[in-house]
Structure 1
Amino acid sequence: MRAAGAFRQKHGRAPAGVWSAPGRVNLIGEHTDYNDGFVLPFALPFRIAVAASPRDDGMLTATTVGDDGTTQHAGPVAVADLRPGGVTGWAAYPCGVAWVLRDHGFDTGADLVIAGDVPTGAGLSSSHALQCAVALALLGLGSGEKPPLAELARWIQRSENDFVGAPTGLLDQTASLCCVAAHVLFVDVRSGEQEQIPFDAAAHGLEVLAIDTRVRHSLADSAYGDRRKGCERAAELLGLASLRDASEVSALPPDLLPLAKHVVSENERVLKTVAALRADAPGRIGDLLTESHRSLRDDYRVSCEELDVAVAAAVGAGALGARMTGGGFGGTAIALVPVDHAARVRSAVLAAFAERSFEPPRMFPAVPSAGAGRDL
C-alpha cells in the first residue's frame, strides 16, 4: 500500500490504519442531484487511500504523494481553529472534512498521508474520493457512534460547499461511500432512497468505455455554480421547491428554459435507464446515453469540443451510445460498446483526436467496483 509506506517514511512509524474511497462514473443523471432528482452512478476501481494515525494535541497534518513520488505538505493546523476561507488549495479538502466532523463532535487531531490513482480533473470525482477517504479515516480514529453513510455524504457535501467553496451536489459523495461492486446505485436525492441495481455489461457482450479527454477543469472556478443558481431561479419562478417537481417549463425566460428542459428530461432518462437495467437489458440504454449528451451539450451547455468529438467518434464506430459524465467543461466521456467493436471504437476516437491535434485521450473499461472502506 503506497499510502502506508509513505506514512512510515514520513513519520517513522506505521499508521493506525488505512482507509480508501473510489472515484466514480455516473452512468446517467447529470446535474440532477442538486435539483433533488435521480442519479445512477457506479464506483470505479481507482481509489484514493489515506493512511492515518491520531494525534493528542488536536493538530491536523496532511501529506499528498504523487504518482512520481513528489509530496506536498499542509499543517500542522489546529482542528479547533478551522474556519471556511482559512485554508486554500488542495489542503482545503481534508481540512474541510475535519471542520465538518468537528461540528458533529468528532474533533480528532491526526497525521494523514494521502495517495491514490483516481485521475485528477477528469470528472471522475477525485476530490470526493479524497474527502470520503479522509472522513472514514478521521471517524475510524475517533470514538463515538458513526453516522450512516448517507448522512456522512451530506456532511461531506457541506464541507465542500461551505468550506472549500465549490457548489457541488450530493451525487459524488454518495457514490463513493455507498456503491457496491457489479451494481449501479439508483438514488432519489430528495428522499435519500437508494437501490443497488445489478449491472453486468460483460454478460451481455458489452463494456462501458471511459474516455478521459485530458481536458482539465475545476468546478470551484467554472460555470458550474452559474448553472446551479439558474436552476434555483427557474424553480423559484415556477413556484416549485426544485426542478424535480417541474413538468411544464415553457413559460420560463430564454436564459433559464434550456436548463430546466435538461433537468426534466434527464430525470426521465434516468428512470427509463433504471427500467431497462431492472429488466436485465443494458443494450437498450444506448440511445438514452446519447440523448443525455445532446441535452448536456445543447441545453445545459456544459460540454466542450473534445467531449463532443469523443462521443461522436465512439457512436460513429459502433458504440450503442455515449455521453459526457461529470460536471462538464472537460473531463471524461463514457461509451456503451459491444466488446467485439471495442478496438474499432478506441481507434476511431484516437484518430478523431489526432485529426484535430488534440492530446491523445486515456481510455479504459469502467467496471462497477466497491465503495469506500477500511483497507488496513
Structure 2
Amino acid sequence: MKGKDTEPGVLRPVAQLREALASGGGRAELERLYGPGETPAARQRFLALLERHASEFPGDRRAALFSVPGRTEIGGNHTDHNSGRVLAAAVDLDIIACACPGEEPVARIDSEGYEPQVVELDRLEARESERFQPAALVRGLASRLSELGWRIGGFQACLSSRVLKGSGLSSSAAYEVAIGTILNQLYNGGRIPAVELAKACRYAENQYYGKPCGLMDQTTCAVGGFVSIDFADIANPRVEKVELDFAATGMSLVIVDTGGHHADLTGDYAAIEREMKETARALGAQTLRGASRERLLAEAARLREKVGDRAILRSLHFFDDDRRAAAQAAALRRGEVAEFLRLVGESGASSWMLLQNCYPPEATRDQGIPLALAMSRELLGGQGACRVHGGGFAGTIQAFVPEGLLPAYLTKMRELFGADSCHPLRVRQAGATAVAIP
C-alpha cells in the first residue's frame, strides 16, 4: 500500500528543529534516551545531523528525528537457532536519523561513513544485484510492510551511528529498524507494532539481503529495555519486556573488544547450529527445544558414535543455557540482582567449557576472549560476572562490573586490549522511537 498518512505532530521544519535544539529544547527527551550526563553530547549529535540533512537535502523541508538503540545479548548463548529462549537488552549506543517524506517513491539515504543509497520503491521485487547490499534491506522492508497492508513512500534521510560494528551490538539490525521506524512514523502514524516491524526487518534480511538470521536482534532494537524472547514457535516468538532500572543496581555493563575480527568465522558459527540439530535429530526432534536433557544424558554412549563428543557437549550447553535465560529474566523481574549475576557467570562458564566458542579450534597462540574472561575474573574477585558476548570465537566479552571496581577494571583491560577496547554501556528502556523536540 502506497501513499501518505503522516502523523502531523512528528514533522517540523528543519530550521525550527535546529533552533529548538540549539536553545536547549528537548532536554527531557534527550535525558530519557541517553541519561542526564550524556544530554549535551546527544544534543550536539542531533544538531550536526540536522546540519547534514539541510546540506544533503536543501529546501524548506519538514522532517522528524529518530533514534534506534543497539542491543546486547544477556542470556541464551547460541540458543535461538534451536528454538530456545534468550534474554537481551537495548543499549544507549544508537543510530539517529533525520528524515522527511519524499514527493517520489524513492528512498534516498545518506549514512555517515557509507556510500549514499538510492532505492526506488515503485518496484519492490528482490534483485539479485542487491544481495548483501543495504539497498536490499530497504527494498525488502518496504515490500514486506506493503504486503502486510501498511503504507510506504519515498523519503530522504541522513543517518549517524554509534553502534559499534563487529562488537556484537547488532549494527545491521539497528539500521533495519531505523528504516522501518522512518516508514512507520512518516506514513503510518507510528501504528506498526514493534514486534511486527521487527519481523518485517527479519524478512528483509533473510529474503532480500540473503543472510539467515533470527529475530532477537531486531526485536530488542525495536522494543527496548530488557527483552525476554521464547522461540518455541519460531514464526511467532513470545516477546516479553522485563521492567528494571538497571542503573540503580550499582553495576556497570561493559563490552570489551578483544580483537581478532580478521578471521573468517562463518564455518565455526555454522558448526554450532549444525551439531546441535544433528543431535536433536538423533534424539527424534527437529531442534533441541523438542528434545530433553535427560534423554541426551541417558543416550550419551550411543550419541558419541552418532554425532561425536563436541556435539553432545554443545547440546548440553543448550539445555542449560535455555533454562538459564528464562531464570535470568525471572530474577530481574523479582529484582534479585545477585541471582541474575550468578546465572550470568554460569552461562559464561558453560560457553567456555561446553559450547566451546571462546576461540577457534586452531587458535593456539591468540586467545583474546579466554584471556579477557580470565583477567575479568581476577579483577572482579567474585563480584559481578563475565561471559563471551554474541557469536564468539573472537571479538567481545561482556562484563557486569561493580561501580567501585570500574576504574581499575577499565585501566587493566585497556592495557591488555587497547585504549579503545572498553565500552561502558547503559541499558536503555526506550526502543525505536521518534525523538520529540518541543
TM surpasses 0.5: yes
User: Paired residue for 2:423, among 347, 363, 372?
Assistant: 363
Matched, 1:118 2:182: no
Structure 2 partner of 1:25: 72
Residue-by-residue CA offset, 1:183-202 (whole Å, 9 max, x unaligned): x2222233533333343444
Output the aligned Cα RMSD. Answer: 2.8
Structure 2 partner of 1:314: 376
Residue-by-residue CA offset, 1:20-60 (whole Å, 9 max, x unaligned): 21001122112222322211111111111232233343222
Judged with a 3 Å threshold, the aligned counterparts in structure 2 of structure 1 residues 81 and 276 are, in CA distance, closer, same or farther, namely closer
Structure 2 partner of 1:299: 354
Structure 2 partner of 1:343: 407
Higher mean displacement: 209-218 or 6-15: 209-218
Give 4+ residue runs of structure 1 displaced > 6 Å after superposition.
Answer: 217-220
Judged with a 3 Å threshold, the aligned counterparts in structure 2 of structure 1 residues 5 and 230 are, in CA distance, closer, same or farther, namely farther
Matched, 1:135 2:180: yes
Judged with a 3 Å threshold, the aligned counterparts in structure 2 of structure 1 residues 221 and 280 are, in CA distance, closer, same or farther, namely same
Within 2, Cα distance between the matches of 1:141 and 1:260? 45
Of Structure 1 and Structure 2, which has the larger fraction of its residues in helix? 2
Structure 1 position 264, deviation (Å)? 1.1
Higher mean displacement: 300-309 or 147-156: 300-309
Give the paired residue count: 365
Matched, 1:6 2:66: no
Structure 1 position 81, deviation (Å)? 4.3
- Gaps of at least 5 residues in structure 1 are none
User: Paired residue for 1:64, among 111, 116, 132?
Assistant: 111
Within 2, Cα distance between the matches of 1:257 and 1:147? 42
Structure 2 partner of 1:16: 63
Matched, 1:190 2:232: yes
Within 2, Cα distance between the matches of 1:3 and 1:360? 24
Of Structure 1 and Structure 2, which has the larger fraction of its residues in strand? 1
Judged with a 3 Å threshold, the aligned counterparts in structure 2 of structure 1 residues 125 and 198 are, in CA distance, closer, same or farther, namely same
Structure 1 partner of 2:123: 80
Identity across the alignment (%): 26
Within 2, Cα distance between the matches of 1:61 and 1:218? 34
Look up the SS of the partner of 2:116 in the other structure: strand
Residue-by-residue CA offset, 1:107-128 (whole Å, 9 max, x unaligned): 4233232212111111101111
Within 2, Cα distance between the matches of 1:329 and 1:32? 16
Judged with a 3 Å threshold, the aligned counterparts in structure 2 of structure 1 residues 372 and 232 are, in CA distance, closer, same or farther, namely same
Look up the SS of the partner of 1:151 in the other structure: helix
Within 2, Cα distance between the matches of 1:221 and 1:171? 19
Within 2, Cα distance between the matches of 1:201 and 1:335? 14
Structure 2 partner of 1:148: 193
Within 2, Cα distance between the matches of 1:38 and 1:158? 20
> Which has the greater radius of gyration?
2
Within 1, Cα distance between the matches of 2:412 and 2:189? 54
Structure 1 position 340, deviation (Å)? 1.6
Structure 2 partner of 1:373: 433
Structure 1 position 92, deviation (Å)? 3.4
Q: TM-score, normalised by structure 1?
A: 0.85
2:275–2:307 CA contact under 8 A, matched in 1:
no
Look up the SS of the partner of 2:344 in the other structure: helix
Structure 1 position 143, deviation (Å)? 4.3
Q: TM-score, normalised by structure 2?
A: 0.74
Look up the SS of the partner of 2:115 in the other structure: strand
Matched, 1:274 2:329: yes
Judged with a 3 Å threshold, the aligned counterparts in structure 2 of structure 1 residues 359 and 232 are, in CA distance, closer, same or farther, namely farther
- Opposite residue 363 of structure 1, the aligned amino acid is H
Within 1, Cα distance between the matches of 2:332 and 2:66? 31
Structure 2 partner of 1:323: 387
- Gaps of at least 5 residues in structure 2 are 1-45, 360-366
